[in-house]
Amino acid sequence: MPSPLFADRPAQPPEPGTVDALISQTRRLRGEVDAVRRDAVTNDDDPRQRWQRALCDLAVHQLDDLGAHLGQLRAGVPVQPGRDTGAGSPEEYEAYGDAPEDFAAFSDGPLDGPPGAAYGAPAPPRTGSLLSRVGSAEWNLLTDEVSWSEELFQIFGRSRESGPMSLDEMPTMVFSEDQPLLQAMVTDCLIDGKPIDGEFRIVRSDAAVRTVHMTGEPVLDADGCTASMWAVIRDVSELRRSERAVRESRDSLERSRQRERTERQVAVELQEAVLPPWRGSLSFAHDGPAPLDVAGHYLPAASAGLIGGDWYDALTLPDGDALLTVGDLTGHGVAATSSMAMLLGALRGMAVAGIRPADLMGHLNQLLETSGQPALGSAMCCRYDPVARTLTWAQAGHPAPLLFRGGTGRALRRPEGVLLGATTGAAYEEAETGLLPGDLLVLHTDGLTRGDHAEDDTGTQRLLALGSRLAGARDARDCLRLVLEEFGEETREDDACVMVVRVGG
């Protein structure tokens, strides 16, 4: 606990050079923080950016206050606060050639908005310069004389003609909930000699509510009795508002992150429930002369939160044919995965019912049009006949299958078909391709090979260049591994699916 001041022992100011160095450091740091704040891109819809902006505002406020306090420290403590040359008066600061009210000039300009603007609510009116937000007072218990600095009148919104308030009058301007705190601090100071250090709220004459921080000590006479009490009162309303903005924007950011984590978990679980239960390689249609060896894989986007509506699937149909399909819906999150689940479920059901690929695409287009969650999608549906070794397929705005034969790959000619959900009553064409034992099909969504623009086919050419290596692979799983080695480590903006189908015989 600091020792009480004695009335007959004036305070000694610190060395000017030390304080000057601290002021220079504070100026430089304030300018650097303000530059970071001004360069930051502010998006009111982004909780993270609101939190960052609130932190910068708070740091600037604290550095401004620090600069003002250092300026007062350099000016020295007056013997009688409240006079024209009292503590914190402009005349004293000007005598040192550097008024702290100019401290905001350390940066290129003032704050672009009110303190705590990132909080999203209007700020109360500013009380003026940094200098006017710190005032001082002394209450003489022997003469009942009260001295207030000019700044204290401004803080309390009290006219000079009304005069300073006594210790008994001050509680009338204090919030009723805070009055016991003020009374306890004053009592402890006057009776027990304890220093004052606390905050309370006041209601000014103009009905404005301000938060002030009061520090002070008793001044003892030669006999050790309390002769007077001095205090420094600082308006910390804007500082506390900035601190509250940081807390609430941080809480908002955490709630947003929690929602994102929850939504991502739901999307992942829904995706895992809908995509094929098998992973790696699957053999089916093995009763025919040309069975299939299939391997598939889902590749997530670089951002862990972007769970999209990509799918792949393969299953044996009741007549012995095989269904092969890949597709991609626009969007991410639960909305995209739930729409994908709906579409893939309908696709499986219609394929089992014997609906051909072109008609199936038309039904999916109609389903997506009438969905409660409108979206666009690309899809490819293939029906493989293991007896005739023919692939009948249709597509809706989707990359064509790549056929590898004898170590050379090519894209199959696409039949006509627009994106799902793009046009009412759209008609889709079918194409038929004969396959040979040893042929390899690579079906994928556009996220695997997407280039910088629509005409960029670099990704497709890289995939086709794998032809000789794919020809030497043992099975579909080994072929899939080669594809993933080429594309799996890339940082992609969108998720993707790839399915490798090898014809046996």
> For residue 294, how many other CB atoms are within 10 A of its CB?
29
Can you give the pLDDT at residue 208? 92
Choice among 32-36, 147-151, 173-177, 436-440 with the minimum mean pLDDT: 32-36
The whole-number average pLDDT for the span 253-265 is 85
Q: What is the mean pLDDT of the chain?
A: 81
User: What's the whole-number mean pLDDT along residues 154-180?
Assistant: 94
Nearest to 348 by CA among 274, 436, 407, 454: 274
pLDDT of 137 over the 60 cut: yes
Q: What is the pLDDT of residue 288?
A: 61
**How much is the pLDDT for 20?**
87
Residue 485 in tokens: 């080695």
Average pLDDT over residues 102-127: 40
- Asked if 348 and 315 touch (Cβ cutoff 8 Å), the reply is yes
Tokens of 100: 């702290």
**First-to-last C-alpha distance (Å) of the chain:** 92
C-alpha pair distances (Å), 54 with each of 32, 48, 109, 210: 16, 10, 18, 20
- The pLDDT of residue 454 is 63
Top mean-pLDDT range of 230-239, 275-284, 351-360? 351-360
d(CA 61, CA 96): 23
What would the two tokens of residue 406 be? 């004898």
Distances from the Cα of 127 to the Cα of 1, 63, 206, angstroms? 32, 17, 12
Q: What is the dihedral of CA 419, 425, 426, 430, to 10 degrees?
A: 120
What is the C-alpha to C-alpha distance for residues 446 and 448, in angstroms, rounded to an integer?
A: 5
Inform me whether the pLDDT recorded for 485 exceeds 50: yes
CA atoms within 13 A on the CB side of 58: 18
pLDDT class of 61 with cuts at 50, 70, 90: confident
**Is residue 111 over pLDDT 50?**
no
Whether the per-residue pLDDT at 233 is higher than 50: the answer is yes
Interaxial angle between packed helices 334-352 and 357-369, expressed in degrees from 0 to 180 and rounded to the nearest 10: 140
Q: Burial letters for 257-275: b for 16+ Cβ neighbours within 10 Å, e otherwise?
A: eeeeeebbeebeebbeebb
Closest by CA to 53, choosing from 98, 115, 123, is: 115
pLDDT band at 113 (very low <50, low <70, confident <90, very high): very low
The amino acid at 224: G
And the tokens for 34? 């303000």
